[in-house]
């Protein structure tokens, strides 16, 4: 049984929601990595993912809206941009992205 | 039939599905080591809630009431009613760029996989490339004008779970004026925060609940259902403060981005520590992610909290593009006793 199907079984109570949201899960859209990183893990398990900038986010799987999301609790490890597809290509060409926020102070 | 808006969706658990079907090649580092979720904080490291942090202009009222904590113990709580408009700003937005030539100055933000992007016209024009999906087309190819939900009807139609196809490929923004007749006010909402935090035996889930309330009177919301928003080929544009408006919560934040663009900065602590900007629902203060030197603490627990000698136990917000502030609640949260029913007064 693959990880996705295991997760579906674990979340059987969400079947009703699934039935009214047939497009929500499998379209392959963005902002998936923090969730994907916890797909096969338990709550409070350590998790990590590497985003399109090659930066590593390490944290813990925590519950948001019935699902597990990897919430970072270690400083971002900045890496080399590893451009392979979709918004990675975009990021390489365009400006205006921030992982850690910018100015603070008065 | 009751309309389902995206915010109520957060309570339905739909985001459990958000990790499925990725076409992204980014590495997912799989680890099975469990961390210790027990909470070990000394009493001396727990500070009383200080309501003087709140900007008076953001408040309708604060009073002390009886409440029941999540451990079923009776306690006292601050019942804080805010006006739903950021007291440190005179206006919110901009959100969606009007044309594909718009620069960051005339547009807001969008986030993806931990990164906060300027929602420039160029970003809109390249969404098909960004998401590797040719169905994205959020603008008129002849005029270059961006498709924006610029009426109450259209914004509410695009802010539901099952967006009608006619509202696919829209940049979604709702005007706060739809929900308040008073300039400088939004949707009033009331928060119940323990007067003194009570540390839990183990960390509590945020799930779909409010994370907290900023000192400027703005709601810190749970994670935005980005997967659902994107599945309808919509962008629920944020302003520079990572805030946006929906019909239920009014103006609310999904990240902390102080000092960027139109978003006001907050002061660092005198010792260079990050600045405080909100109370979490358990009564612990949330500080900014970075200190004055641009560094982030490396000893945060799974809730993104830690203890120091000056502040005691406190949280640090996640980055502005991470769709989260903190990971969980270290302290007990509260519910109103029967005679202190929570009050929400949309559009007052």
Q: Along the 348 residues of chain B, how does pLDDT read in single tens digits?
A: 444 555 433 333 222 222 222 333 344 443 334 444 667 899 999 999 999 999 999 999 999 999 999 999 999 999 999 999 999 999 999 999 999 999 999 999 999 999 999 999 999 999 999 999 999 999 999 999 999 999 999 999 998 888 999 999 999 999 999 999 898 899 999 999 999 999 999 999 999 999 999 999 999 999 998 989 999 999 999 999 999 999 999 999 999 999 999 999 999 999 999 999 999 999 999 999 999 999 999 999 999 999 999 999 999 999 999 999 999 999 999 987 765 555 443 322
Q: Do A24 and B227 touch (CB under 8 A)?
A: yes
Can you tell me the distance from the alpha carbon of B304 to that of B317, in angstroms, rounded to the nearest whole number?
7
Q: pLDDT class for A27, splitting at 50, 70, 90? A: very low
**Residue B316 maps to a domain:** yes
What Cα–Cα distance (Å) separates residue B203 from each residue in A94, B198, B224?
40, 12, 21
Can you tell me the distance from the alpha carbon of B111 to that of B125, in angstroms, rounded to the nearest whole number?
16
* pLDDT top residue among A15 and B126: B126
Q: Which of B17, B268, B301 sits opposite A105 (nearest CB)?
A: B268
In the prediction, which pLDDT does B65 show?
97
Measured on CA atoms in the order B203, B204, B209, B214, is the torsion positive or negative?
negative
Distance from CA of A17 to the nearest CA of B (A): 7
Residue B177 CB-half CA count within 13 A? 7
Can you tell me the distance from the alpha carbon of A53 to that of B26, in angstroms, rounded to the nearest whole number?
9
Cis peptide before B30 (omega within 30 of 0): no
Domain carrying residue B196: 46-345
In the prediction, which pLDDT does A94 show?
56
What Cα–Cα distance (Å) separates residue B41 from each residue in A43, A92, B211?
21, 44, 20
**Residue A3 maps to a domain:** no
In the prediction, which pLDDT does B336 show?
73
pLDDT, mean over chain A? 68
DSSP-derived 3-state class of residue B260: coil
Can you tell me the distance from the alpha carbon of B57 to that of B62, in angstroms, rounded to the nearest whole number?
12
Residue B164 CB-half CA count within 13 A? 8
**Residue A93 maps to a domain:** no
In the prediction, which pLDDT does B321 show?
96
Can you tell me the distance from the alpha carbon of B44 to that of B155, in angstroms, rounded to the nearest whole number?
48
Interface of B with A in 9-28 (CB under 8 A): 9-28
Number of folded domains in chain B? 1
Contact of B70 with B332, CB cutoff 8 Å: yes
**Residue B7 maps to a domain:** no
DSSP B114: B
**Residue B12 maps to a domain:** no
**Residue B255 maps to a domain:** yes
> Which runs of E-coded beta strand occur in chain A?
46-50, 56-64, 67-72, 97-98
In the prediction, which pLDDT does B5 show?
56
In the prediction, which pLDDT does A95 show?
52
In the prediction, which pLDDT does B324 show?
97
**Residue A87 maps to a domain:** no
What Cα–Cα distance (Å) separates residue B314 from each residue in B38, B231, B241, B272?
16, 36, 22, 15
Contacting residues of A for B267, CB less than 8 Å apart:
105-106
DSSP-derived 3-state class of residue B277: strand
Interface of B with A in 59-98 (CB under 8 A): none
Is the backbone of residue B87 left (phi > 0), alpha (psi -120 to 50) or beta?
Answer: alpha
Distance from CA of B181 to the nearest CA of A (A): 32
**Residue B130 maps to a domain:** yes
Domain carrying residue A56: 31-79
Number of folded domains in chain A? 1
């Amino acid at each position: 049984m693959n990880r996705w199907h295991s997760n579906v079984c674990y979340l059987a109570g969400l079947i009703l929601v699934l039935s009214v949201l047939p497009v929500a899960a499998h379209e392959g859209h963005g902002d998936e990595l923090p969730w994907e990183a916890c797909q096969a893990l338990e709550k409070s398990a350590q998790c990590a993912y590497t985003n399109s900038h090659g930066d590593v986010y390490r944290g813990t799987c925590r519950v948001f809206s019935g699902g597990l999301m990897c919430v970072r609790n270690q400083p971002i490890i900045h890496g080399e941009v590893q451009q392979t597809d979709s918004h990675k290509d975009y990021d390489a060409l365009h400006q205006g992205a921030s992982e850690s926020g910018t100015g603070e102070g008065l | 039939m009751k309309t389902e808006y995206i915010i109520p969706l957060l309570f339905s658990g739909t985001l459990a599905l958000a990790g499925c079907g990725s076409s992204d090649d980014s590495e997912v580092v799989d680890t099975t080591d469990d961390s210790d979720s027990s909470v070990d904080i000394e009493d001396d490291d727990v500070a009383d809630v200080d309501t003087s942090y709140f900007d008076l202009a953001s408040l309708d009222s604060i009073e002390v009431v009886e409440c029941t904590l999540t451990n079923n113990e009776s306690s006292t709580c601050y019942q804080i009613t805010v006006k739903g408009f950021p007291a440190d700003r005179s206006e919110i937005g901009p959100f969606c760029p009007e044309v594909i030539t718009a620069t960051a100055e005339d547009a807001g933000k969008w986030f993806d996989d931990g990164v906060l992007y300027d929602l420039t016209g160029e970003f809109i024009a390249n969404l098909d490339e960004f998401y590797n999906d040719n169905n994205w087309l959020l603008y008129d190819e002849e005029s270059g004008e961006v498709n924006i939900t610029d009426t109450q009807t259209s914004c509410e139609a695009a802010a539901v779970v099952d967006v009608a196809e006619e509202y696919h490929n829209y940049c979604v923004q709702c005007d706060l004026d739809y929900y308040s007749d008073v300039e400088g006010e939004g949707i009033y909402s009331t928060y119940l925060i323990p007067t003194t935090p009570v540390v839990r035996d183990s960390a509590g889930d945020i799930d779909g609940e409010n994370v907290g309330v900023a000192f400027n009177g703005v709601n810190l919301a749970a994670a935005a259902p980005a997967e659902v928003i994107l599945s309808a080929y919509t962008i629920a544009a944020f302003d520079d403060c990572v805030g946006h408006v929906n019909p239920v919560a009014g103006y609310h934040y999904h990240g902390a981005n102080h000092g960027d663009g139109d978003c006001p900065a907050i002061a660092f602590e005198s010792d260079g520590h990050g600045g405080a900007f909100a109370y979490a629902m358990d009564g612990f203060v949330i500080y900014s992610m970075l200190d004055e030197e641009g560094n982030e603490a490396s000893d945060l627990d799974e809730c993104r909290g830690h203890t120091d000698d000056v502040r005691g136990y406190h949280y640090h917000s996640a980055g502005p593009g991470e769709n989260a502030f903190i990971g969980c609640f270290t302290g007990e949260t509260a519910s109103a006793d029967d005679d202190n029913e929570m009050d929400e007064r949309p559009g007052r």
